[in-house]
Amino acid sequence: MPENVSAVPRKDLTPVDVSIMVVGIVLGIGIFKTPSLVARYAGDETVFVSLWLLGGLITVIGSVCYAELGSARPDAGGEYAFLREAYGSKVALLFAWARCTVIQPGAIAAAAFVMGDYANVVWPLGAPGPGIYALASVIVFTLVNHVGTTPGKLVQRAVEVIVVLSMLGIVISAFVALVPEPGAGTPQTTSWGGAGLAMMFILLTYGGWNEAAYLSGELQDARRNMARALVVGVLVVVAVSLAINFAYLHVLGLDGIRDSEAVGAAMMRVVAGDAGATVMSVVIVLSTLTTLNGLIITGARSYYALGRDVGALRSVGTWRRQGSTPANALLLQGAVSAVLVVFGAFTRAGFRTMVAYTSPVFWFFMLLVALSLYVFRRRETGGESHYRLPLYPVTPALFALSCLWVLCSSLLDAGRGSIVGVAVLLAGTPLLFLRAPRPR
């Protein structure tokens, strides 16, 4: 039998695997980039900490919403499958276009650029170094996952354990080291607009947990384990992120955070000199690699789901039996991501360009996913046995309002990159006039 004709995703992933994937995807880029941006919009230390706590609460609310969706409808297509069932194949097809051209390759390229920036500090290759490292990382991790799901999963587990332990060590060293006490931050007014921008960066830092939805089709007993796997991963992410921010405040103070473009390295330079800054850069490289690997693993499932449902893209929707992996989808995703890396390298503002490019499109569709919970609840007959989120209908309403808040902030303040991302989304609207995807 040909190896890719009848193969389907195997339920090989345990709840621990999915939790580690969530931690690996999220704890990779934002916590080393965004605290200085958040601090510039925070009036004082209390507001700074409160904003991070509020962002963590929103993230936990979102995770329980996704836990219900993933446990009730486990599917390798994740959000694509949720949108198709809630709103029909046309909306799902437009989302698939957005995810395959904007959301996922943009996120992969952004993670690759952060890794490239810090790798170029550890081992300089000159001005083109970040772009070279970014492109190489996309190629290497695409090929690792092309071999099979197990190698990619093992790489994720091994590296993420190292990263979390290293981060905990860094936080502890920040509190036990004898460092000068930073002065109080300069007070300033916190506006509603500034708080909205700060929350956009905070939710970007916590973002990526929704990728677990794309692993629900491979999770063992997803109806029982999805909530546990997703919520545990999110709680670890929020706890570690808060601990790192407290360490920043303890060593640098709010003004020091505001004035630093590389806040993690700045903190470790105070704690342990240049050697500490180098160690921090190595940890960041490893952390961003786990983010990159996780995004590649989950992103390819979107291409697979689209190809599975659209006859003209059937070759992308094949699941290779050997290695249990969407091999063709991985190669296509890798090619699109590589093109964005090259584009970002030429702009010389790769990370910022990719964040602006992806944000409005991402939050628009996440808003639709949040509202889909109401659609599915209305259709239920009462005999379903799956995880049900608490405090319905308030919980999804809070999450939907949060999505709308960040969507408006990203449209108004993210800059030209957001216009390009929206333009690419609109370029996919002709797909709505094609023949609807074939039913499974």
Whether the Cβ atoms of residue 17 and residue 222 lie closer than 8 Å to each other: no
| pLDDT tier, 76 (very low <50, low <70, confident <90, very high otherwise) | low
pLDDT confidence of residue 399:
95
- Whole-number mean pLDDT of the chain? 81
Segment 1-13 mean pLDDT: 55
pLDDT confidence of residue 322:
64
pTM of this structure: 0.80
| pLDDT tier, 1 (very low <50, low <70, confident <90, very high otherwise) | very low
Separation between Cα atoms, residue 44 and residue 141, nearest integer Å: 41
pLDDT confidence of residue 5:
45
Per-residue pLDDT of 222-275, as tens digits, reads 777 778 888 888 898 899 899 999 999 988 889 889 888 778 878 888 888 888
Whether the Cβ atoms of residue 202 and residue 62 lie closer than 8 Å to each other: no
> Helices 416-427 and 350-379, interaxial angle, to 10°?
50
| pLDDT tier, 365 (very low <50, low <70, confident <90, very high otherwise) | very high
Separation between Cα atoms, residue 127 and residue 120, nearest integer Å: 9
Terminal C-alpha separation, the chain: 21
Residue 439, pLDDT > 60, answer no
Lowest model confidence (mean pLDDT) among 12-21, 46-55, 133-142, 201-210: 12-21
Q: Percent of the chain, pLDDT > 70?
A: 85
Residue 438, pLDDT > 60, answer no
pLDDT confidence of residue 401:
95
Per-residue pLDDT of 142-184, as tens digits, reads 988 887 656 556 666 677 677 777 778 778 888 887 777 776 6
Residue 414, pLDDT > 60, answer no
Is 59 or 3 the better-scoring residue by pLDDT? 59
Whether the Cβ atoms of residue 8 and residue 319 lie closer than 8 Å to each other: yes
Separation between Cα atoms, residue 297 and residue 325, nearest integer Å: 9
Query: Which residues, including other chains, have CB under 8 Å from residue 124's CB and lie 6 or more apart?
Result: none
pLDDT confidence of residue 137:
92
pLDDT confidence of residue 2:
47
pLDDT confidence of residue 138:
93
Q: Percent of the chain, pLDDT > 90?
A: 18
Neighbours of 306 (CB within 10 A): 23
Is 112 or 350 the better-scoring residue by pLDDT? 112
pLDDT confidence of residue 374:
95
Residue 413, pLDDT > 80, answer no
